Amino acid sequence: MKRYNDPDDADIHTRQQLLGEEWWTSAFLALMRPGRDSIEFARGRKLAERGQVIIRGIVPGGVEAVVLGAIGGSRKVCLWFAGLEDDWEVLFRVFHVRQDLFTRLLSGDFDPELQSLLFQAGVHLIPTTVMDLDYRCDCESDHHTCSHIIATYLALGKHINDDPMTLFLLRGKTREEIIQGVSELSKEAVEEKAADTVETEDDGFTEENREDLDQYYCTGPELETVAFRLTYNPGSEDIAFRNLGKSPFKIGKVDLADLIADLYIRAAEFVSGYEKYRQQSE
């Protein structure tokens, strides 16, 4: 599909000054700004500026509108936006870490730093190509993107300008769903921290032992020179492993530590059983 020419920063800045657009609105509208000689774009802009676009509904992932004709009649337009899918979890984590920026977003201020953090995390919230957009108009225009579709997209910019959360709604989730997602993540973090605190209250490790554990995942000397000074406390095998913390390695999306945690318990059970068998055999 065709990629439209992106305006330069000076163009966006000028439009922000003249039209009172917020930066996120200008970035959103950039998708529908083709070459300045585009006839369909000029017609669509006039329809939007004259208030001939009626947004009938904005729902998760889409917009429905009616575009009034200059001499009567109307056209029905529908726009659909690609969902973020697995990126929602990443987005929630960014919001969880930067609660200050998330709070500002909810109050209507989309800080550029938040957009930068999302971009670094691989989340592209604001559409940059028509690959993120699908549409339908009941007119019989020969143009792939007719003036009614362009007019609807430009008119949608007003809603986004007033509330940046509209961007997230277009990508598939409501304001309430996003707040709930971040709240659940924060709750899990609190519960995990509380659980770690309980587990490490009496784990049988001295400060001297812990110095060894801090180096567990680091590249060290040859195997034959390694010595561990761990005090065995039956029943605490899993606690011993958890004291190592998260592994810097992953298999797929699963932390290596989570995969091998129960091996410590299984190994202890095997050794205990073997020891009893050996004693009985003697």
How confident is the model at residue 189, as a pLDDT? 72
How confident is the model at residue 16, as a pLDDT? 46
140: pLDDT confidence band, cut at 50, 70 and 90? confident
253: pLDDT confidence band, cut at 50, 70 and 90? low
Residue 230 above 50 pLDDT?
Answer: no
pTM: 0.61
187: pLDDT confidence band, cut at 50, 70 and 90? confident
The pLDDT mean for the chain works out to 78
* Range list of H helices, 112-174: 112-120, 147-162, 165-170
Question: In this structure, what DSSP letter does residue 8 have?
Answer: P
**Per-residue model confidence as pLDDT tens digits over 142-158:** 777 899 999 999 999 99
35: pLDDT confidence band, cut at 50, 70 and 90? low
For range 200-220, the mean pLDDT: 56
State both tokens at 102: 């998330």
Q: Which residues contact 10 (CB under 8 A, 6 or more apart)?
A: none
Residue 227 above 60 pLDDT?
Answer: no
How confident is the model at residue 65, as a pLDDT? 97
Residue in 112, 161, 145 with CA at minimum distance from that of residue 4: 145
Sign of CA dihedral 153, 34, 40, 23: positive
255: pLDDT confidence band, cut at 50, 70 and 90? low
Residue in 214, 269, 207 with CA at minimum distance from that of residue 237: 269
3-state secondary structure of 156: helix
Residues 109, 111, 117, 122, Cα dihedral to 10°: 60
C-alpha angle with apex 191: 183 to 209, nearest 5 degrees?
140
Domain ranges of the chain: 9-183, 202-281
How confident is the model at residue 274, as a pLDDT? 60
**Per-residue model confidence as pLDDT tens digits over 100-138:** 999 999 999 999 999 999 999 999 999 888 889 999 999
**Gap between the Cα atoms of 263 and 137, Å rounded:** 60
Task: Decide: 25 and 157 in contact? Cβ < 8 Å.
Answer: yes
* Range list of H helices, the chain: 9-19, 23-29, 39-49, 87-97, 99-106, 112-120, 147-162, 165-170, 175-199, 207-213, 237-242, 256-281
Considering 191-195, 219-223, 240-244, the range whose residues carry the highest mean pLDDT is: 191-195
H or E element, residue 64 = strand 62-68
